[in-house]
C-alpha cells in the first residue's frame, strides 16, 4: 500500500499564528484561535507505564492540557471521538541528521598533495574538531525526509551532522510541517556530539587513525580545561567546547569496542557519554554493562544473505552470518542487563523496515514496555527534556500517535502522528470498512462481489457472474468506490461509481457495456467475511538464535577456557637458562606460573600431558607485530607520540588466533612507520576470546615506535607526497632534535613547578628522555642507525631496540657500545632500495658481538612461523640451536623488559608455554598446545574439532537463510570480508562507519 | 678416502676465494667426470638411495646406483658424500626472478607489460642472469626456474632457465615453453558506495572472459589457415593447439578453476596447468578427470577466509596428492615473491610436516615441477641421461635448520655458491672478529 500523508491545514493555521504573534500580517486580516481539542474514548499511554483505558486527551496551543479518564472539557473544545483507538507519545530519535545539509565529500584525490595544517583562522589547530558548529544555524526543515520519520512514528529528532570528531551542538526539533523554526525547534542546543570520524569536507591529514582520533580528543579536552584558567589568546573552538560543556554529550561510537573506547575516554575526564552503539553490544554485554553509559541503539539489523548459490555462500564468514541471526536480540540483551537505551532510525531508509525491525527486536525478547520507553521517555530523559517531550504529561508538547491498537502488534495501523498539536495523517482513520460479501445487481443480472484484505482502503475484489470469475477492478477512494468489469460474452465494460456512507455502499451510477445509463445496487450479505485464501500463509517459525561464542566468529570458544594446573611429563624442555635443553623432564604449571621443574613430579589436581617425544618451550614473543589492531599508522603528523596503540587493540582479529596457533603467546603491537615519531606501543598476550583490556599486559613497560628512512621521508608514497617535513634523512635528525629539545624545556618548566599546558605529545617524549619509556625504532641503513644513537646520547638516554635494523651488522660494534638491542627479519631484502644490503646473516653477526637480538615478524603470515624464521640463523651464520631459539623467546623478552616474567623456564615466571610436536626450530614442528597464564588457548586437536563445529554452525545458518529467502525476507549479495593485513607500511584512513 | 676429503676441502677454498667478486662468475663447462659417493640421494621420483653413487660427465648423469656397485676409477673426481644429502636441483616454476631487482624502484621492474592480451611478450629476453636476487637462490638449492611475466589477462610467454649463465641465451633450457593467463577475478574489492571495503562480485567477470574467448577463437581460426598478414599475438599461441606449448592459468577459487578447465577444453588446448589452486581441493575429481596438474601458490600463506582452518594452506599438497593429482610448488603467490623463492625448499618441508612422505615432498619441487613444465626428460631427478643439475647439502635441505648447501652443479658445472650477501657477511665478520 502506498502510504499517503495528508496534512490537515485547518489545524495548522491556528498554531502557526500563535508562534508568530509579533509578526505583521499583510495578506489578510489577523485571525487567531486558541481553542481546545479533545480526543475521547481512547486508550492513552501517558507514559509507557501510565496507561489510561478509555480516557481523554486534551490539548491546546500544541501542548498537553490533560490526559486522564475524566478530563473536564472547556466549552471551546473540538471533540474527536477515537472509538477505542490508542494514543502513544510519539517517538524521539537522538541520532539524526535531519535537516542538516550533508557536507560535500572531502574531494580526496590521490594526485593532490596532502594538507597537513589547519586551514581555519581563529579556531583550534585541527579541522576535524568543530565544537563551535551549531546544528541550529544550518538547520533547514526537509518535508520529504520528515515524511519518512513521521510515518515511522517519530515526532522529535535530535539533529546534527554525523561527521567530525567534535561535531558541535545538536538541535532538538519537532517534525512539525506546519510551523516554522520558531515553533518546531524545541531546543537550539540540546547536546554536544562527538565521534570517531573525520569531518567530511576537511582535508587535514591528522588524524587518519583511530588512535589519532582518541589522542586528539584527549588533547582537546585537556586544552579546554587549561584554557579556562589560562586564557591568553582567543580560540573559538575551545570557547565553544567550554560554553557547551554542561550539555549532554553524545558519542557516535558505532561498534562494541568503540563503545568501550568512548567510555574510557569519558572516564578520564569524569563524565559519561550517551553512546550511539553499533548494534553488536550483545557480543560483549558484560563489558558494555560496566561502562554505565546510556545507549542509542540502531535498528538496522542486517539482512540475510542470498545463499542460494553454494559457491557464493562459501564467501561469507560465520561472523557475518551470526550477526544476521543474533543482532535483533541486541536491544533485549541490553534491557535484560538493565542498561538504559533509546532507538535511532539511523541506518534505515523506510518506515516499513523500521517497524519490521522494531517488532523483530520484540520477537527476540525485548519487553514491550522497555521498547516503548526506548522510543519515548528514555531519549527524553537522556537529554533532560522529559518535561517537554516523550510523554503526554500535562505541559508536554502534544506529540502523539493515534493507532488502531497496540503499537507493537503486527496488524496495528498508525493513523495519525501529531506534532506540536498538528495532525499528520499517515493512514485515514475515518475510512468506512466495506469488506464483506455483496450481491451486485446491474442490468437485471446478479453478481456476487467479495471484498477482503488487511487494509481498509484497498480491498481486493473478487467478482463472479453465476460461478464464473470475472476480472474486475475496484478502487475505494475519497468515500467512493469505482468498479469496472466486462460481463460475460461482452467486449466492453460495465462501469459503476457508488458512494460509501456509514450505512454501506449506496446505489451506484452505472454505464453499461452498450453505453446505456443504469443503476447498480449492492446488497451486503450477512455471512461471515471470507478470510483471504490466496494470501501466502505466514509460517510461524520458532526462533533459533545460535549461542554466542568468544569471539563471536569462527574458532570462537563456546566456553571460555580456564586456568588449571598442568603437568607435562617426560618432555624435552628448552629452558633458555643455564640448564640448556633437558630431556625427559617434568614441568608443573600452577596458578598461571611455572611451579616446578624436575623428574617424577606429580600433582593430583593437575591435568597431565604426556610430553614423550615432544618439546616444551616458552611461548614465542613477537617483538614487532601489527595484528589485532584497528589502525596501524597515524601519519597525519611527523610525530604522533600522543597516540596509543593500546587504545585500538582488537583481540577479535583472526590473525590473533592464527598467530597463537603458531606458538606465539606475546606480541608487541607497534605503530607503523609512517612518521619519525610513531605512537606508544601495546604489549599483549594472545588470549583468544578475551577483551582488549584483558589481553593488554598490566603495568607493562612503556614503549614507543620510532621510524627512519624511506617510509618517514615518504619516498615511496607517490610524487604528491612532498610537503611534509622531513623529506631526507638529514631532516629526520632535525625532527628528533626539535622534539627532544622542546620536551626537555617542557620538562624543565614542570620540574620548576611552573604550570604548563598539558601536552600529551611532549609528556610522552619527556618519558623517553627520562628513560621511563623505551624506543623501538624501525631502521634500515647504517647512517640513520648511527644518527639516532647519537641523538639519544646528546639527550642522555639510550635507544632500546632497533627493529628491522637490516644494516645493523654494519654498525654492530657501535650498537654494542651504545647498548641497544636489535629485532630483525630473518631473510627479507630487496623490497626497497634501503634494504639492498640486507643480509640473512644479520642476526648472527650482531649476536656474535653480544647484542641482544630478536627475530620479529611485522607480518600476519610470518608471525605464525617465527620458530622457523629463528631457525634460519642456524643456516645463515651457524648460530647454535639454543641461541637461535632465544631469538624469538628470551631475547625479545629482554628487549621488552619483560624477562623477569617471560622468556625462560624459571620458577615463578608466567606459564606461557608451547608444546611442540618436534624440535621447535625444525620445519616439521607444529604447536600442539599453546598455554598462556596456565590456560590452554590453542590445542591442535581441538582446533580440528572447532573447524567441524563451525561447519555445522555455518550449515545451520545457511539453511535458515534459505528459509528466510523463501519466506520473502530481503536478502543481499554475499561478499567476502576485505581483510587488510597490516604491516609497517599500511596507510589508510580510519572510518568507524566502515566497520 | 683421504684423497677425496682433500679434494672437497680444496673445492671449498676455491669457492671462498671467489667471494671478492660481487657478481658470481659462471662456472666452466664440466671437463672432468665426477662421482659423488656415500650420500643419501633423493632421486626426485619418490625414491631414495641411502648409500648412493651418482656419477656425471659432460653435464649429464651417467651413473645412478648403490655405492657398492660403482667403479670409482671411471671418474676423475670422487667426492665423499658420506653423511650428506644429495638432491636434484630444485625448480621454481612460475617465477619472475631476473625480471625485477628492487620492488619499490620502478626502473628495475620488468615483469608486467601494459595491456590485457600479450601472449607475444617474452620473459626470456628480459631475464637478467646477473640479478643479485638470483645468486641468492643457489646457496639454498634452487637452481632452475620457469620465468613468467605477470599482469593482464594473457601475461605473455614464459621460458625455462638455469641459474649459472653469462646471459639469457646461455641460461635458457626451453624457449617460450608456455603461455600464462590470469583467469579473471570473480570478486573485486569495492572502493566506493555502500559496499566500500567489501569484496563484491566482479561486474566485468563475463566481459573479461569473453575477451579471452574471442582471442582464442580467433587465434584458433588463424592457426587453421594462416592469413597473409601475420598476427604476432596469434602466432604466439599456436603452440597451444598442437601441444608444443602449455597453457598456465592462474586460478584460485573453485569457480575459476572449473571454468579454466572448461575453457581449455573448449579452445583446443592440449596441455594446461592450474597455477595457484587455493580451492583446487574442492574440485579434485574434475582436475583428475582432465589430467590437470596444479602448481600450488606459496604454502606459507594465510588461509583465504577467516573461517578456514589455520593450517589448510599447509595441508593442500597432501590433500591434492591423495586425490591423485600431479602437484608442484612455486614460490610465487604472495609479497616479495622473488626474494622468497630461496625458501622454496622449506615449502616442500612444510608439505611433509603436514602429511606427505619425505620423498613425496622432495618430488614436489623436483620431478613434479619438471613434469608440470614438460621438462622431465632433462631435469627434475637424478636419473640416467638427465642434466647433472644437483647439489650436496650437509643436512636435510628441506629444513631451514639444516639446509647447508655445500656444493652444487648445474649441467655438471661446479657453480659458485657465493653471493653479494655472503661477501658482506665475510667482510663484516672479518672487521669484528678478524676472520
Closest Cα of chain A to B405: distance in Å?
9
For residue B313, pLDDT beyond 50 = yes
A-chain CB neighbours of B342 within 8 Å are 827
Cβ distance of B104 and A950 shorter than 8 Å: no
Note the pLDDT of residue A231.
73
Cβ distance of A871 and B201 shorter than 8 Å: no
Note the pLDDT of residue B335.
87
A634 phi, psi to nearest 5 deg: -115, 85
For residue range B76-93, what is the model confidence (pLDDT) as tens digits?
A: 999 999 999 999 999 999
Best CA proximity match to A445, nearest among A524, A379, A512: A512
Among A6-10, A401-405, A714-718, name the one with the lowest average pLDDT.
A6-10
Interface with B, mutate which of A626, A858, A875 (most B CBs under 10 A): A875
CB atoms within 10 A of CB A741: 13
Please report the residues numbered 319 through 358 in chain A whose beta carbons come closer than 8 angstroms to any beta carbon of chain B: 319
Q: At B333, is the pLDDT very low, low, confident or very high (cuts 50, 70, 90)?
A: confident
Note the pLDDT of residue B21.
46
What's the predicted TM-score (pTM) here?
A: 0.93
* Count of positions (residues) in chain B: 435
Cβ distance of A827 and B343 shorter than 8 Å: yes
**Burial status of residue A9 (CB atoms within 10 A of its CB: 0-12, 13-18, 19 or more):** exposed
Note the pLDDT of residue A722.
87
Please report the residues numbered 746 through 775 in chain A whose beta carbons come closer than 8 angstroms to any beta carbon of chain B: none
> Is the Cβ of A839 closer than 8 Å to some Cβ of chain B?
yes
What is the C-alpha to C-alpha distance for residues A616 and A576, in angstroms, rounded to an integer? 11
* Residue from the list B309, B311, B403 with its beta carbon closest to the beta carbon of A875: B403
Percent of chain B with pLDDT over 70: 94
Closest Cα of chain A to B294: distance in Å?
20
Exposure string for A549-586, b = 16+ CB within 10 A, e = fewer: bbbbbbbbbeeebebbbbbbbbbbbbbbeeeebbeebb
> Is the Cβ of A861 closer than 8 Å to some Cβ of chain B?
yes
Note the pLDDT of residue A306.
96
> Is the Cβ of A837 closer than 8 Å to some Cβ of chain B?
yes
A-chain CB neighbours of B133 within 8 Å are 830
For residue A458, pLDDT beyond 60 = yes
Cβ distance of B197 and A994 shorter than 8 Å: yes
Domain A620-902 top-level CATH class: alpha beta
The answer to whether A615 and A919 are in contact (CB under 8 A) is yes
B-chain CB neighbours of A553 within 8 Å are 306-307
Closest Cα of chain A to B309: distance in Å?
6
For residue range A799-844, what is the model confidence (pLDDT) as tens digits?
A: 999 999 999 999 999 999 999 999 999 999 999 999 999 999 999 9
Find the closest chain A residue to B256 by CA distance: A311
* Residue from the list A849, A862, A978 with its beta carbon closest to the beta carbon of B198: A978
Best CA proximity match to A250, nearest among A373, A149, A160: A160
CB atoms within 10 A of CB A604: 7
Owner of C-alpha cell 645468486: B135
What is the C-alpha to C-alpha distance for residues A616 and A911, in angstroms, rounded to an integer? 11
For residue B107, pLDDT beyond 80 = yes
A-chain CB neighbours of B306 within 8 Å are 317-319, 553-554, 654, 977, 979
Q: At A113, is the pLDDT very low, low, confident or very high (cuts 50, 70, 90)?
A: confident
What is the C-alpha to C-alpha distance for residues B128 and B163, in angstroms, rounded to an integer? 10
The answer to whether A546 and A322 are in contact (CB under 8 A) is yes
Average pLDDT over residues A950-975: 94
What is the C-alpha to C-alpha distance for residues B119 and A778, in angstroms, rounded to an integer? 42
The answer to whether A688 and A665 are in contact (CB under 8 A) is no
What is the fold of A90-390? TIM Barrel (3.20.20)
Residues of chain A with CATH 2.30.40.10: 562-618+903-933
Interface with A, mutate which of B106, B258, B310 (most A CBs under 10 A): B310
For residue A326, pLDDT beyond 60 = yes
Q: Give CA separation, A353 vs A93, A349, A689, A751, B144, in Å.
A: 16, 8, 33, 61, 62
Q: At B239, is the pLDDT very low, low, confident or very high (cuts 50, 70, 90)?
A: very high
Q: What is the CATH number of domain A562-618+903-933?
A: 2.30.40.10
For residue range A216-232, what is the model confidence (pLDDT) as tens digits?
A: 999 999 999 999 998 77
CB atoms within 10 A of CB A528: 8
Closest Cα of chain A to B409: distance in Å?
20
Q: At A716, is the pLDDT very low, low, confident or very high (cuts 50, 70, 90)?
A: confident
Helix (H, G, I), strand (E, B) or coil at A818: helix
Average pLDDT over residues A380-405: 97
Cβ distance of B196 and A658 shorter than 8 Å: no
The answer to whether A103 and A200 are in contact (CB under 8 A) is yes
* Residue from the list A844, A922, A994 with its beta carbon closest to the beta carbon of B196: A994
Cβ distance of A979 and B103 shorter than 8 Å: no
A-chain CB neighbours of B429 within 8 Å are 845, 848
Note the pLDDT of residue A111.
61
Cβ distance of B352 and A924 shorter than 8 Å: yes
CA quadruple A867, A873, A875, A878: dihedral positive or negative? negative
Q: At A652, is the pLDDT very low, low, confident or very high (cuts 50, 70, 90)?
A: very high
Note the pLDDT of residue A16.
44
Cβ distance of A994 and B103 shorter than 8 Å: no
Note the pLDDT of residue A17.
42
For residue A107, pLDDT beyond 70 = no
Find the closest chain B residue to A950 by CA distance: B307
Strand ranges across the sheet with A274-276 = A91-96, A154-159, A166-174, A185-195, A249-252, A274-276, A294-298, A341-344
Note the pLDDT of residue A993.
58
The answer to whether B119 and B236 are in contact (CB under 8 A) is yes
Cβ distance of A973 and B307 shorter than 8 Å: no
> Is the Cβ of A688 closer than 8 Å to some Cβ of chain B?
no
Q: At A5, is the pLDDT very low, low, confident or very high (cuts 50, 70, 90)?
A: very low
Cβ distance of A943 and B310 shorter than 8 Å: yes
For residue range A153-199, what is the model confidence (pLDDT) as tens digits?
A: 999 999 999 999 999 999 999 999 999 999 999 999 999 999 999 99
Average pLDDT over residues A509-517: 91
Give the number of A-B residue pairs with CB atoms closer than 8 Å.
160
B-chain CB neighbours of A860 within 8 Å are 302
A-chain CB neighbours of B347 within 8 Å are none
What is the C-alpha to C-alpha distance for residues A761 and A770, in angstroms, rounded to an integer? 15
Closest Cα of chain B to A363: distance in Å?
28
Percent of chain A with pLDDT over 90: 83
Q: At A992, is the pLDDT very low, low, confident or very high (cuts 50, 70, 90)?
A: low
Closest Cα of chain B to A709: distance in Å?
13
* Residue from the list A314, A828, A924 with its beta carbon closest to the beta carbon of B349: A924
> Is the Cβ of A953 closer than 8 Å to some Cβ of chain B?
no
Note the pLDDT of residue B206.
96
The answer to whether A613 and A584 are in contact (CB under 8 A) is no
For residue range B42-69, what is the model confidence (pLDDT) as tens digits?
A: 999 999 999 999 999 999 999 999 999 9
Q: At B17, is the pLDDT very low, low, confident or very high (cuts 50, 70, 90)?
A: very low
Strand pairing report for B77-80 and B52-57: unpaired
Note the pLDDT of residue B16.
44
Cβ distance of A809 and B428 shorter than 8 Å: yes
CB atoms within 10 A of CB B105: 16
Average pLDDT value for chain A: 93
Q: Which helix (H) or strand (E) holds B62?
A: strand B60-66
For residue range A190-208, what is the model confidence (pLDDT) as tens digits?
A: 999 999 999 988 899 999 9
Please report the residues numbered 877 through 906 in chain A whose beta carbons come closer than 8 angstroms to any beta carbon of chain B: 877
Average pLDDT over residues B1-18: 43
Note the pLDDT of residue A473.
87
What is the C-alpha to C-alpha distance for residues B61 and B46, in angstroms, rounded to an integer? 18
- In terms of phi and psi (left: phi > 0; alpha: psi -120 to 50; beta: otherwise), the region of B176 is left
Q: Which value does ipTM take for this structure?
A: 0.94
Q: Give CA separation, B178 vs A114, B146, B230, in Å.
A: 45, 9, 20
What is the C-alpha to C-alpha distance for residues A244 and A247, in angstroms, rounded to an integer? 6
Cβ distance of A830 and B133 shorter than 8 Å: yes
Q: A609 CB contacts (<8 Å, ≥6 apart)? A: A566, A567, A568, A569, A915, A929
> Is the Cβ of A710 closer than 8 Å to some Cβ of chain B?
yes
Structural domains of chain B in order of their starting residue, each with its CATH number: 2-88+415-433 (2.30.40), 90-379 (3.20.20.140)
Average pLDDT over residues A622-644: 96
A-chain CB neighbours of B281 within 8 Å are none
For residue range A866-922, what is the model confidence (pLDDT) as tens digits?
A: 999 999 999 999 999 999 999 999 999 999 999 999 999 999 999 999 999 999 999
A-chain CB neighbours of B400 within 8 Å are 868, 871-872, 874-875, 923
CA–centroid distance for A417 within its chain: 31
For residue range B294-304, what is the model confidence (pLDDT) as tens digits?
A: 999 999 999 99
B-chain CB neighbours of A658 within 8 Å are 302-303, 310
Residues of chain A with CATH 3.20.20.140: 90-390, 620-902
Best CA proximity match to A196, nearest among A174, A179, A211: A211
DSSP assignment of A67-122 equals EESS-PPPSSEEEEE-TT-EEEEPEEEEEE-TTPPPPPP----TTSPPB-S---SS
Amino acid at each position: 500500500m502506498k502510504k499517503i500523508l495528508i496534512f490537515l491545514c485547518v489545524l495548522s493555521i491556528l498554531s502557526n499564528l500563535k508562534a508568530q504573534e509579533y509578526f505583521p500580517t499583510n495578506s489578510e486580516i489577523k485571525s487567531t484561535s486558541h481553542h481546545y481539542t479533545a480526543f475521547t474514548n481512547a486508550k492513552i499511554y501517558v507514559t509507557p507505564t501510565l496507561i489510561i483505558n478509555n480516557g481523554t486527551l486534551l490539548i491546546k496551543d500544541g501542548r498537553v492540557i490533560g490526559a486522564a479518564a475524566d478530563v473536564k472539557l472547556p466549552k471551546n473544545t473540538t471533540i474527536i471521538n477515537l472509538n477505542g483507538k490508542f494514543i502513544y507519545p510519539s517517538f524521539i530519535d537522538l541520532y539524526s541528521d535531519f535537516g542538516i545539509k550533508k557536507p560535500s565529500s572531502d574531494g580526496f584525490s590521490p594526485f593532490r598533495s596532502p594538507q597537513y595544517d589547519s586551514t581555519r583562522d581563529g579556531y583550534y589547530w585541527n579541522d576535524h574538531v568543530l565544537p563551535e558548529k551549531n546544528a541550529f544555524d544550518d538547520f533547514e526543515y526537509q518535508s520529504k525526509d520528515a515524511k519518512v520519520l513521521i510515518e515511522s512514528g517519530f515526532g522529535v529528532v535530535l539533529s546534527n551532522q554525523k561527521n567530525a570528531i567534535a561535531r558541535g551542538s545538536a538541535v532538538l526539533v519537532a517534525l512539525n510541517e506546519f510551523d516554522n523554526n520558531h515553533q518546531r525547534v524545541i531546543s537550539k542546543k540540546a547536546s554536544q556530539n562527538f565521534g570517531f570520524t573525520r569531518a567530511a569536507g576537511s582535508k587535514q591529514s591528522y588524524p587518519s587513525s583511530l588512535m589519532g582520533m582518541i589522542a586528539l580528543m584527549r588533547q582537546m579536552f585537556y586544552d579546554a580545561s587549561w584554557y579556562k584558567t589560562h586564557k591568553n589568546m582567543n580560540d573559538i573552538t575551545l570557547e565553544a567546547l567550554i560554553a557547551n560543556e554542561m550539555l549532554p554529550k553524545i558519542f557516535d561510537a558505532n561498534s562494541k569496542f568503540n563503545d568501550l573506547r568512548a567510555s574510557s575516554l569519558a572516564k578520564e575526564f569524569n563524565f559519561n557519554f550517551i553512546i550511539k552503539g553499533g548494534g553488536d553490544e550483545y557480543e560483549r554485554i558484560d563489558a558494555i554493562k560496566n561502562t554505565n553509559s546510556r545507549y542509542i541503539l540502531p535498528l538496522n539489523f542486517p539482512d540475510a544473505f542470498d545463499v542460494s548459490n553454494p559457491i557464493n555462500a562459501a564467501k561469507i564468514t560465520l561472523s557475518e552470518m551470526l550477526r544476521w541471526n543474533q543482532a535483533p536480540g541486541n536491544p533485549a540483551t541490553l534491557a535484560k542487563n538493565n542498561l538504559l537505551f533509546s532507538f535511532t532510525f539511523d541506518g534505515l531508509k523506510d518506515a516499513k523496515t523500521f517497524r519490521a525491525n522494531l517488532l523483530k527486536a520484540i520477537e527476540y525478547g525485548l519487553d514491550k514496555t522497555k521498547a516503548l520507553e526506548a522510543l519515548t521517555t528514555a531519549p527524553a530523559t537522556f537529554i533532560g527534556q522529559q518535561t517537554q517531550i516523550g510523554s503526554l504529561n500535562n505541559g508536554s508538547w502534544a506529540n502523539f500517535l493515534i493507532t488502531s491498537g497496540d503499537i507493537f502488534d503486527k496488524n496495528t495501523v498508525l493513523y495519525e502522528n501529531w506534532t506540536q498539536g498538528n495532525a499528520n495523517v499517515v493512514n485515514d482513520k475515518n475510512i468506512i470498512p466495506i469488506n464483506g460479501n455483496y450481491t451486485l445487481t446491474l442490468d437485471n443480472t446478479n453478481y456476487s462481489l467479495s471484498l477482503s484484505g488487511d487494509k481498509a482502503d484497498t480491498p481486493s475484489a473478487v467478482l463472479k457472474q453465476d460461478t464464473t470469475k470475472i476480472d474486475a477492478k475496484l478502487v475505494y477512494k475519497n468515500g467512493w468506490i469505482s468498479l469496472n468489469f466486462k460481463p460475460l460474452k461482452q467486449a466492453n465494460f460495465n462501469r459503476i461509481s457508488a458512494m460509501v456512507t456509514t450505512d454501506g455502499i449506496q446505489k451506484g451510477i452505472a454505464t453499461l457495456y452498450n453505453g446505456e445509463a443504469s443503476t447498480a445496487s449492492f446488497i451486503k450479505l450477512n455471512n461471515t467475511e471470507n478470510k483471504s485464501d490466496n494470501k501466502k500463509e505466514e509460517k510461524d517459525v520458532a526462533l533459533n538464535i545460535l549461542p554466542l561464542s568468544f569471539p563471536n566468529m569462527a574458532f570462537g570458544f563456546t566456553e571460555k577456557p580456564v586456568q588449571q594446573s598442568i603437568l607435562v611429563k617426560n618432555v624435552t624442555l628448552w629452558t633458555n637458562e643455564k640448564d640448556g635443553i633437558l630431556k625427559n623432564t617434568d614441568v608443573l604449571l600452577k596458578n598461571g606460573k611455572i611451579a616446578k621443574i624436575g623428574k617424577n613430579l606429580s600433582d593430583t589436581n593437575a591435568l597431565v600431558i604426556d610430553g614423550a617425544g615432544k618439546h616444551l618451550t616458552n611461548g614465542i614473543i613477537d617483538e614487532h607485530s601489527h595484528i589485532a589492531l584497528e589502525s596501524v599508522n597515524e601519519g597525519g603528523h611527523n610525530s604522533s607520540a600522543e597516540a596509543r596503540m593500546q587504545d585500538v587493540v582488537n583481540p577479535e582479529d583472526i590473525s590473533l588466533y592464527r598467530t597463537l596457533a603458531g606458538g606465539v603467546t606475546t606480541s608487541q603491537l607497534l605503530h607503523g612507520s609512517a612518521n619519525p615519531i610513531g605512537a606508544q606501543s601495546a604489549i599483549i598476550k594472545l588470549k583468544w576470546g578475551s577483551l582488549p583490556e584483558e589481553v593488554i599486559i598490566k603495568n607493562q613497560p612503556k614503549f614507543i615506535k620510532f621510524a627512519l628512512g624511506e617510509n618517514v621521508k615518504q619516498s615511496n608514497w607517490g610524487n604528491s607526497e612532498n610537503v611534509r617535513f622531513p623529506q631526507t634523512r638529514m631532516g629526520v635528525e632535525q625532527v628528533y632534535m626539535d622534539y627532544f629539545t622542546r620536551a626537555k624545556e617542557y620538562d624543565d618548566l614542570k620540574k620548576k613547578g611552573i604550570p604548563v599546558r598539558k601536552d600529551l605529545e611532549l609528556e610522552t617524549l619527556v618519558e623517553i628522555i627520562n628513560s621511563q619509556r623505551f624506543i623501538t625504532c624501525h631502521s634500515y641503513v647504517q647512517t640513520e642507525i648511527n644518527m639516532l644513537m647519537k641523538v639519544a646520547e646528546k639527550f642522555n638516554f639510550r635507544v632500546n631496540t632497533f627493529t628491522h635494523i637490516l644494516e645493523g651488522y654494519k654498525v654492530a660494534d657501535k650498537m654494542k657500545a651504545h647498548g641497544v638491542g636489535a629485532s630483525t627479519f630473518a631473510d627479507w631484502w630487496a623490497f626497497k632500495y634501503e634494504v639492498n644490503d640486507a643480509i640473512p646473516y644479520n642476526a648472527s653477526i650482531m649476536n656474535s658481538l653480544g647484542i641482544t637480538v630478536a627475530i620479529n615478524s611485522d607480518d600476519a603470515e610470518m608471525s605464525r612461523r617465527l620458530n622457523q624464521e629463528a631457525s634460519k640463523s642456524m643456516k645463515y651464520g651457524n648460530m647454535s640451536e639454543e641461541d637461535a631459539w632465544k631469538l624469538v623467546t628470551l631475547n625479545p623478552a629482554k628487549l621488552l623488559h619483560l624477562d623477569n616474567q617471560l622468556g625462560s623456564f624459571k620458577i615463578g615466571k608466567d606459564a606461557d608455554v608451547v608444546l611442540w610436536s618436534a624440535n621447535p626450530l625444525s620445519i616439521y614442528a607444529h604447536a600442539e598446545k599453546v598455554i598462556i597464564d596456565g590456560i590452554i588457548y590453542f590445542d591442535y586437536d581441538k582446533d580440528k574439532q572447532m573447524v567441524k563445529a563451525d561447519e555445522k554452525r555455518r550449515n545451520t545458518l545457511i539453511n535458515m537463510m534459505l528459509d528466510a529467502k523463501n519466506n520473502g525476507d530481503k536478502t543481499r549479495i554475499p561478499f567476502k570480508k576485505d581483510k587488510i593485513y597490516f604491516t609497517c607500511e599500511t596507510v589508510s584512513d580510519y572510518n568507524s562507519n566502515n566497520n | 678416502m683421504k684423497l677425496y676429503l682433500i679434494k672437497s676441502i680444496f673445492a671449498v677454498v676455491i669457492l671462498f676465494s671467489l667471494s671478492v667478486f660481487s657478481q658470481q662468475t659462471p662456472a666452466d663447462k664440466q671437463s672432468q667426470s665426477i662421482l659423488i659417493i656415500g650420500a643419501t640421494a633423493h632421486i626426485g621420483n619418490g625414491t631414495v638411495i641411502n648409500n648412493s653413487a651418482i656419477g656425471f660427465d659432460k653435464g649429464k648423469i651417467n651413473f645412478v646406483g648403490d655405492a657398492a656397485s660403482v667403479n670409482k676409477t671411471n671418474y676423475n673426481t670422487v667426492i665423499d658424500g658420506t653423511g650428506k644429502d644429495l638432491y636434484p636441483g630444485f625448480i621454481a616454476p612460475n617465477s619472475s626472478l631476473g625480471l625485477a631487482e628492487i620492488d619499490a624502484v620502478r626502473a628495475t621492474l620488468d615483469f608486467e607489460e601494459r595491456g590485457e592480451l600479450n601472449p607475444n611478450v617474452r620473459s626470456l629476453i628480459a631475464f637478467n642472469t646477473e640479478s643479485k636476487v638470483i645468486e641468492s637462490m643457489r646457496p639454498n638449492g634452487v637452481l632452475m626456474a620457469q620465468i613468467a611475466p605477470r599482469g593482464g589477462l594473457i601475461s605473455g610467454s614464459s621460458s625455462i632457465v638455469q641459474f649459472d649463465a653469462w646471459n639469457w641465451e646461455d641460461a635458457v633450457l626451453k624457449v617460450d615453453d608456455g603461455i600464462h593467463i590470469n583467469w579473471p577475478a570473480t570478486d573485486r574489492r569495492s572502493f566506493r558506495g555502500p559496499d566500500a571495503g567489501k569484496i563484491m562480485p566482479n561486474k566485468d567477470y563475463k566481459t573479461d572472459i569473453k575477451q579471452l574467448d574471442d582471442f582464442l577463437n580467433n587465434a584458433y581460426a588463424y592457426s587453421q589457415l594462416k592469413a597473409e598478414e601475420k598476427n604476432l599475438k596469434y602466432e604466439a599461441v599456436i603452440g597451444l593447439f598442437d601441444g608444443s606449448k602449455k597453457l598456465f592459468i592462474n586460478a584460485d577459487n573453485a569457480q575459476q578453476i572449473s571454468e579454466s578447465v572448461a575453457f581449455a577444453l573448449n579452445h583446443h588446448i592440449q596441455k594446461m596447468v592450474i597455477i595457484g589452486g587455493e580451492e583446487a581441493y574442492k574440485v579434485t575429481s574434475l582436475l583428475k578427470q582432465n589430467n590437470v596438474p596444479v602448481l600450488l601458490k606459496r604454502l606459507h600463506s594465510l588461509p583465504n577466509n577467516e573461517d578456514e582452518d589455520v593450517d589448510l594452506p599447509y595441508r593442500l599438497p597432501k590433500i591434492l596428492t591423495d586425490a591423485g593429482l600431479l602437484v608442484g610448488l612455486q614460490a610465487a603467490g604472495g609479497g616479495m615473491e622473488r626474494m622468497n623463492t630461496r625458501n622454496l625448499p622449506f615449502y616442500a618441508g612444510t608439505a611433509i610436516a603436514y602429511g606427505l612422505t619425505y620423498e613425496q615432498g622432495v618430488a614436489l619441487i623436483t620431478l613434479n615441477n619438471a613434469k608440470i613444465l614438460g621438462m622431465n626428460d632433462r631435469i627434475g631427478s637424478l636419473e640416467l641421461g638427465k642434466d647433472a643439475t644437483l647439489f650436496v647439502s650437509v643436512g636435510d635441505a628441506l629444513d631451514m635448520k639444516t639446509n647447508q648447501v655445500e656444493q652444487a652443479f648445474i649441467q655438471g658445472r661446479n657453480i659458485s655458491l657465493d653471493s653479494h650477501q655472503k661477501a658482506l657477511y665475510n667482510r663484516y665478520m672479518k672487521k669484528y672478529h678478524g676472520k
